[in-house]
Amino acid sequence: MLSLLAAHALGGAGTGAAAALRAAAPALLRHLGGAGGAAAGAAAARRGSSWAGFADAPGSQRAGSDVEAQSQSEKAAAMDLVDLSPGLRRAILNPDRKLSVELLVPMDDGGVEIFMAHRVQHNNSRGPFKGGFKFHPSADLEDTEGLASINTWKSAVVNVPFGGAKGGVAVDPSLLSSRELEKLTRKLVGGMHRILGAHTDIPGPDIGTDERVMAWIFDEYSKYEGYSPAVPLHLHGSLGRDGAAGAGAVMGLREFLKRDLLTSINKSTFVVQGFGKVGSSVARHIHEAGGRVVAVADVRGATFNEGGLDVPRLLAHVYRGGTLWDFEGGTPLPSDPDFLAIPCDVLVPAALGGVINARTAPRLQCKAVVEAANAPTTAEGDAILRARGIPVLPDVYANGGGIIVSFFEWVQNLQNFQWDEDEVTRRLDRYMTDAFHDMHRLAKDRGVPLRVGAYMLACSRVASAEKHRGFGA
């Protein structure tokens, strides 16, 4: 069976339980089954949301439109610098297609709930649309549109032949039983399978969608089309897919230090915010390259060791169920905005959006920032860092390793062949290194920050594809 997939963020960060319940309430309580549906909503609410504990996280689940808004001025500057005509600008900014579907899902108690699902295909001039499905209360059409467009720019910066897409279902999956979630996923595929496909639009996991959901998508899609463009990791997933975004960020970091700070990982100190899929991978790869990770934080707490944390021991400790703050090899610290101000050479935000902002940016004591998370720096925060002479390796490039390994997975599955992990790592390094130098060259030639350089690269690549395909002819 031919099967193709992508590696993307699996759930994690989110809003607080109360906020999640508030946001989910309309979907949960809007039902066709009368009292049964209301009871299902109440029962689900009693189960509690897995997004608990994130209530005060600034921008923890930033809408795609907010993330897009943060880079508006850089994108506008980039389009001016690459001299795009107004028509071409409109063509590459507007999404190609938006589909919204109502999913009627029979609930365990006999009631029926309605959930809204969206898929936005932003631009496919460089290759098939590619993007995950996010299951989260904030997943409305606008959010999905913003995230789809980010995927267009990210794929173009790291030069993989994909366009940008995104899917979203307005649901808190932690409030559904496994059976309800499976029915919802199958309804989603039923409503969308016609626009998905290995050569047209390739879905993948994202916030709130895990390997189970991918397996249901795989199975349901196969019933309609005979093969699936999305696969769970244990069925044809690429080796090296886990942690690819973090591994890629450290490859980019290596080039960034060499070029802009005239130093190397093994001579530098690092503070990493977030110890999930991306943050733990970043910390591990920095440690393996001889760098000193002096502090890491997750939502519950942080640990600090000026001499450098023993990251493999810390990972084993967390794997066994330990927390960062009860790790013997470090001093416990609270996970609050002060964490970001710990002195280091490089700060790596790898958790939430919006954490480097007008309040925190003036207090940072680092020489550079590497944005492993999506949109960790607000426009105000960015301006402050620029004024303070702190260079930033931007998210649109830095966490592109995830999409690169998604591309490798697609290639391997098209060939019904699997590369070994060394092969994946070697190729990932080449893509990250080449993209860094393309972005860096453009930025230095025009005297602009790397973020503008990254958008110049993305806009010129997408615009060039549009032109070659006959735009305006």
68, two tokens = 């897009």
Tell me how crowded residue 445 is: count the other CB atoms within 10 A of its CB: 11
Minimum distance of ligand NAD from residue 245's CB (angstroms): 4
Binding footprint of ligand NAD, residue count (CB under 6 A): 28
Return the range that interacts with ligand NAD (CB under 6 A); candidates 6-14, 31-39, 231-239, 252-260: 6-14
The answer to whether 12 and 300 are in contact (CB under 8 A) is no
Residue 31 DSSP label: B
Catalytic annotation present for 166 = yes
Helix, strand, coil content of the chain in percent (nearest 5): 50, 15, 35
Residue 33 or residue 337: which is nearer to ligand NAD going by CB?
A: 337
Q: Which of 75, 166, 277, 367 is catalytic?
A: 166
Return the range that interacts with ligand NAD (CB under 6 A); candidates 274-282, 380-388, 419-427, 449-457: 274-282
215, two tokens = 């397996």
Q: Does 204 bind ligand NAD (CB under 6 A)?
A: no
Residue 169 or residue 299: which is nearer to ligand NAD going by CB?
A: 299
Q: 404: burial class by Cβ within 10 Å (0-12, 13-18, 19+)?
A: buried
- Measured CA distances, 199 to 28, 196, 400, 413 (Å): 35, 8, 21, 12
Q: Does 273 bind ligand NAD (CB under 6 A)?
A: yes
Q: Does 9 bind ligand NAD (CB under 6 A)?
A: yes
Minimum distance of ligand NAD from residue 279's CB (angstroms): 6
Helix 178-192, helix 211-225: angle, nearest 10: 40
Residue 320 or residue 468: which is nearer to ligand NAD going by CB?
A: 320
Residue that has been written with the tokens 């700060």 in this structure: 347
Minimum distance of ligand NAD from residue 71's CB (angstroms): 14
Q: Does 63 bind ligand NAD (CB under 6 A)?
A: no
Minimum distance of ligand NAD from residue 417's CB (angstroms): 23
Return the range that interacts with ligand NAD (CB under 6 A); candidates 106-114, 179-187, 276-284, 386-394: 276-284
Q: Which residue is nearest to ligand NAD (CB)?
A: 12
Map residue 163 onto helix, strand or coil: strand
Residue 12 or residue 41: which is nearer to ligand NAD going by CB?
A: 12
Interface residue with ligand NAD, options 399, 412, 425, 460 (CB under 6 A): 399
CA dihedral 379, 385, 386, 390 (to 10 degrees): -140
Minimum distance of ligand NAD from residue 172's CB (angstroms): 15
Interface residue with ligand NAD, options 27, 57, 147, 314 (CB under 6 A): 57
Residue 40 or residue 351: which is nearer to ligand NAD going by CB?
A: 351
CA 285 – CA 288 distance, rounded (Å): 5
CA 450 – CA 65 distance, rounded (Å): 22
Minimum distance of ligand NAD from residue 5's CB (angstroms): 13
Residue 230 or residue 352: which is nearer to ligand NAD going by CB?
A: 352
Q: Does 327 bind ligand NAD (CB under 6 A)?
A: no
Tell me how crowded residue 285 is: count the other CB atoms within 10 A of its CB: 21
Tell me which residues in 329-358 interact with ligand NAD (CB under 6 A).
335, 350-352
Q: How far apart are the first and last CA of the chain?
A: 40
CA 355 – CA 377 distance, rounded (Å): 6
434, HSE (Cβ side, Cα atoms, 13 Å): 13
Phi, psi of 329 (to 5 degrees): -80, 15
Q: Does 381 bind ligand NAD (CB under 6 A)?
A: no
The answer to whether 136 and 62 are in contact (CB under 8 A) is no
Tell me which residues in 281-300 interact with ligand NAD (CB under 6 A).
297-299
Q: Does 278 bind ligand NAD (CB under 6 A)?
A: yes
Interface residue with ligand NAD, options 13, 19, 82, 463 (CB under 6 A): 13
31 forms bridges with which residues in the sheet? Answer: 113
Radius of gyration of the CA atoms of the chain, in A: 22
Residue 103 or residue 372: which is nearer to ligand NAD going by CB?
A: 372
307, two tokens = 């001499």
Helix 244-260, helix 421-446: angle, nearest 10: 40
Residue 8 or residue 292: which is nearer to ligand NAD going by CB?
A: 8
Q: Does 377 bind ligand NAD (CB under 6 A)?
A: no
List residues near ligand NAD by CB under 6 A: 7-9, 12-13, 54, 57, 60, 245, 273-279, 297-299, 335, 350-352, 372-374, 399, 402
Q: Which residues are catalytic?
A: 166
